[in-house]
Amino acid sequence: MFFMQDGFKQLSGGLLEKLLQKFTNNSIYAILTGFLATSIVQSSTITTLLTISFVGAELITLVQGIGVIFGSNLGSTTTAWIVSSLGIDVKISTYAFPMLVFGVVLRFFKKNAMKGSGNVLLGLGFIFLGIAYMKDGFDVIKDQIDLASYAMDGYGGILLYIVIGLVITIVIQSSAATLAIIITALNVDSITYINALALAIGANVGTVLTAVLASLTSTQDAKRVAGSHVIFNFVTAAIITIFIYQFKDFVDYLAPYLGISETNNGMKLALFHTIFSLVGIFILFPFIPAISRFLERIIPHKVSSASKPKYLSPIVLENPDAALVAIKKEIINLYENCQKAILHALNFHTTGLTKDNLKIQINQELSIIDTNIDEIYQTNLKSLYSDIIKFSSFAQEKMLDFQHKEVGELKRAAAIIVEVLKDTRDIQKNLNYYLKSRNEFIKEEYNILRKELAEMLIDINTLSTLQSDVEQLTQLEVIKMELAHNDMASSEEIDMLIREDKIKATMATSFINDSATGYSIQKKLVELANILFLNSDVVKQIGESNETK
C-alpha cells in the first residue's frame, strides 16, 4: 500500500493538491473531489492528511474539508473492489514477480513518472503476492483450525468482530490492507460472511486513528477536520451495526443486478463497504454545516500569544502548497504583531485606526504609550521569527525550484518586518523627546513624520483587503506617490525652518536622520506589501518594475 500510494502521488504530479484547491467550492464538489483523490492514490489516509494540512493552512474552509473527508471514505472502497475482483478465480501470484522486477527497474529512472510507475508496479506486485500467500495460509489454517467454527451468533459476535477489525486496522494503519485480508479469508471460507461484514465495519472505524494523531500537532481547524472523520465513521458504523442483517439482505438482493454471483462473498463485501460509505454520506450530508458549527463549539480557537505560531504545524510540512500558504500567513501574522508594536511606538492607539481617526489622535494632547520595542522583540517576536525561518528551511526540502524561490521571497519579507521594527526603535527616542518639546515647529515635523508612517501602514492594510488586480495596482500607485511626496516634502520643509531660524541645528540634524530612517521604513513597507499582499505574479512584476523606475 505504501508503494502504491507513493507511486500514484508521483504520477499525479500534484493533481491531488490541485483537485483539493480548485474543486471544493461547495459540499457536493468537495465530496466528489475527496472520492476522486482517494481513488487515484488508493488511500483515504493520504487524502485525509492533505485535507487536514489544507484546512490547517486555510487553503480550504472547514465545511469544504468535511465534504472531502466524506468523499474520501467512499473513494477508499475502490480498493476492496480491485482486490475482490482480482483475488478470486485468477491466479494472480503469476503476475506478481514480473511486476516486482519491472517495478524495481523503473525506480532507477530519474523522471518522476517512471519512478511513480515503478512504485505502483511494486505495490501491485506485493499486493498480488500477499493475497496469494494469505490464500495459501488461510487454506492451511482452515484444514487444521476452522476459524469459522468460532463465530458467535447474534450481536455479541458482530461487536466482537467489529473490535477485531478496528484493532487490526489500528495496528497496520490501513483499512484497505485490512479489507484485503478480510476478503482473502472470506474467499477461502476461513470466516463467515456476516462476521466479515462486521470486520469491515471495524476497519472503517479504525482508520480514523491516523487522522486524529496527525491533527494533534496541527491547528484547531485541522483537529475539527479529524473530528468530522470520527463523526462520519462512528455515526455510520452505529447505524450499519444496528441494521446489519437488513443491510446484508439488501446487499444479497442488489448483487445479482450488478453481475455478482450468489457465492462471490468477496465482491459482496466490497459492495457492502461501498454501501457503508454511501449511507453515511446520504444521512450526514444535510448536516455538514451543523457538524462544522458543532466542532467549532467543542474545539474552540486557542488564544495564542504573539510568540506562538498560528499556522505552522508538522503535518503542513508534508505538502509544499500548504506549507507555502502557512509560511505566508504566519509572516502576515508576524507583520500584524510588529505593526501593532510600531504604532504604539509612534504613540497611536490601534483600535479602529483609520486616517480620520489618525487626525483626531494627532490633534489631541499627546499621551506617550510606554513601548519597549527591544523587550517586545526579545520576548515575543524573535521566537516567532525564528520559528518561521526554521519551518521554511524544513519545508524547502520537498519543494520544486519555483517554490524555493517563493519561500526565499517570503523569508526576505520576514526579515524586512524585523528591520522595520528595529528602525522604528531607532527613531522612537527622539520622537518622544521632541513631541514633548516647547518648540512647536520641530514638534509639528515629528507629528508629520509619525503621521506619514501610520498612513503608510493604513494604506498597506487597505491593499491587503483588495481582491482584484486593478484595485491592487491602483492602491499600490497611490502608496508610491505618497512615498515620493513624503520624501520631497520633509526635505523642503526642514530647509525652510533652518533658514528662518525656527529650529536649532541640533534639532535639524536629529530630524534629518530620523526623517531618512522614516523614509527607509516606508520604502521597506512598500517592498513588503509587494511580496505579501499582491495576488498575481503579473501585478507583482508591474509593482517591481515601477519601483525600479
pLDDT category, 70, cuts 50, 70, 90?
very high
- What confidence score (pLDDT) does residue 339 get? 92
Three-class SS string for 352-379?
A: CCCHHHHHHHHHCCCCCCCCCHHHHHHH
Residue 238's CB is within 10 A of a number of other CB atoms, namely 12
- What confidence score (pLDDT) does residue 284 get? 93
Is pLDDT at 71 greater than 60 in this prediction? yes
Is pLDDT at 36 greater than 60 in this prediction? yes
| Candidate from 52-61, 233-242, 280-289 with smallest mean pLDDT | 52-61
Residue 527's CB is within 10 A of a number of other CB atoms, namely 17
- What confidence score (pLDDT) does residue 26 get? 78
Is pLDDT at 88 greater than 80 in this prediction? no
Q: Torsion over CA of 32, 48, 291 and 326, rounded to 10 degrees? A: -110
pLDDT category, 424, cuts 50, 70, 90?
very high
Tens of pLDDT along 350-378?
887 888 888 888 888 778 888 899 988 88
Tens of pLDDT along 132-143?
676 667 666 655
Cell of 211: 487522522
Average pLDDT over the chain reads 82
- The interaxial angle of helices 265-284 and 244-254, nearest 10 deg, is 120
pLDDT category, 237, cuts 50, 70, 90?
very high
The separation between the first and the last C-alpha atoms of the chain, rounded to the nearest angstrom, is 56
Using DSSP, state whether 261 is helix, strand or coil: coil
Cell of 524: 521597506
Which range of 263-277, 306-320, 404-418 scores highest in mean pLDDT? It is 404-418
What percent of the chain clears pLDDT 70, i.e. is strictly above it? 84
What is the spatial distance between Cα 299 and Cα 223, in angstroms, rounded to a whole number? 8
Q: So where are the chain's domains?
A: 2-298, 314-548
pLDDT category, 300, cuts 50, 70, 90?
confident
Residue, of 52 and 544, whose pLDDT is higher: 52
- What confidence score (pLDDT) does residue 250 get? 93
- What confidence score (pLDDT) does residue 504 get? 85
Residue, of 138 and 213, whose pLDDT is higher: 213
Cell of 216: 494533534
What is the spatial distance between Cα 321 and Cα 402, in angstroms, rounded to a whole number? 11
- DSSP designation for 25: S
What is the spatial distance between Cα 55 and Cα 341, in angstroms, rounded to a whole number? 29
Q: Are 186 and 266 in contact (CB under 8 A)?
A: yes
Cell of 235: 455515526
Is pLDDT at 547 greater than 60 in this prediction? no
List of E strands, 35-74? none
